[in-house]
């Protein structure tokens, strides 16, 4: 036993076995697999028939297997690093939206006859024909429009309130419903977007969410445009 200086003869003992045990547990699962593989390979070499030894092709194949697994582990680590960097960049971009006007999913639009109502439709893959209906608060359709859009792109919508009889729609809240036809001729619902102010952003496990002035919360990836 060793006596620690300045402790009035109090004997101390350091447990080196515990330290060694901790060092062993610090090995990664991949290192443990590599060790097990090498031990197995050595065992095969020791027990092989001297008159019929393992050929070079078989040896090379086994070594390639462990190298492939090692490469996969390194690739996974690199991907995780990239994802972390992307997530941080995503968060910084989202924080920069606070106070700005963004084109985000919206159902109800406030119309003022003095200026056109601006909106937009997200056109998914496979859809080229788009139909839009302007609906009043009473549930009646006040105007309709149709157009051809490029699939996978954003289609802008502008409505000045002019009705079929030439009169102007009254100021108030209106709903916009959009539908499209896919390659099979089936009708699909489309997401309508409008200009809204960003009040704040949230960072969570499921990604970044944007809180709008309307009280609605949308995903950062649903933002189509920024003013």
CA 224 to chain centre: 15
What does the pLDDT average to over 69-94? Answer: 60
Please say whether the beta carbons of 186 and 126 come within 8 A. no
Res. 205: pLDDT tops 80: no
Nearest to 222 by CA among 214, 207, 213, 86: 207
Other residues' Cβ atoms within 10 Å of the Cβ of residue 50:
5
What does the pLDDT average to over 163-181? Answer: 92
CA 205 to chain centre: 11
CA 81 to chain centre: 15
For CATH 2.60.40.4070, the residue range(s) in the chain are: 101-226
pLDDT of residue 219: 82
Computed over every residue of the chain, the mean pLDDT equals 76
Res. 106: pLDDT tops 60: yes
Dist. CA 224–CA 97, nearest whole Å: 12
Dist. CA 54–CA 48, nearest whole Å: 7
13 token code pair: 């003992």
The CA-to-CA distance between both ends of the chain, in Å, stands at: 75
Backbone angles phi, psi at 27, to 5 degrees: -70, 140
The CATH number of the domain covering residues in 101-226? 2.60.40.4070
CA 54 to chain centre: 49
What does the pLDDT average to over 71-89? Answer: 59
Res. 60: pLDDT tops 70: no
Nearest to 200 by CA among 186, 187, 190, 210: 210
pLDDT of residue 34: 64
Residue owning tokens 């649903």: 222
């Amino acid at each position: 036993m060793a006596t620690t200086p300045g402790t009035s003869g109090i004997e101390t003992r350091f447990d080196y076995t515990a330290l060694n045990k901790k060092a062993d547990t610090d090995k990664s699962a991949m290192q443990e697999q590599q060790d097990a593989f090498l031990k197995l390979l050595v065992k095969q070499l020791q027990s092989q028939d001297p008159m019929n030894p393992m050929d070079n092709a078989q040896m090379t194949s086994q070594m390639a297997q462990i190298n492939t697994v090692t490469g996969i582990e390194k690739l996974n680590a690199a991907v995780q690093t990239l994802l972390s960097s992307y997530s941080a960049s995503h968060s910084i971009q989202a924080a920069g939206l606070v106070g700005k006007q963004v084109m985000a999913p919206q159902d109800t639009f406030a119309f003022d006859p003095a200026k056109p109502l601006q909106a937009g439709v997200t056109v998914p893959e496979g859809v080229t024909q788009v139909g839009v209906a302007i609906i009043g608060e009473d549930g009646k359709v006040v105007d309709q429009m149709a157009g051809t859009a490029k699939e996978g792109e954003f289609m802008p919508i502008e409505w000045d309130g002019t009705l079929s009889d030439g009169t102007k729609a009254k100021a108030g809240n209106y709903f916009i419903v959009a539908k499209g036809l896919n390659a099979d001729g089936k009708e699909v619902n489309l997401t309508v977007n409008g200009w809204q102010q960003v009040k704040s952003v949230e960072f969570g496990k499921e990604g970044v969410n944007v809180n709008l002035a309307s009280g609605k919360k949308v995903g950062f990836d649903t933002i189509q445009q920024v003013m």
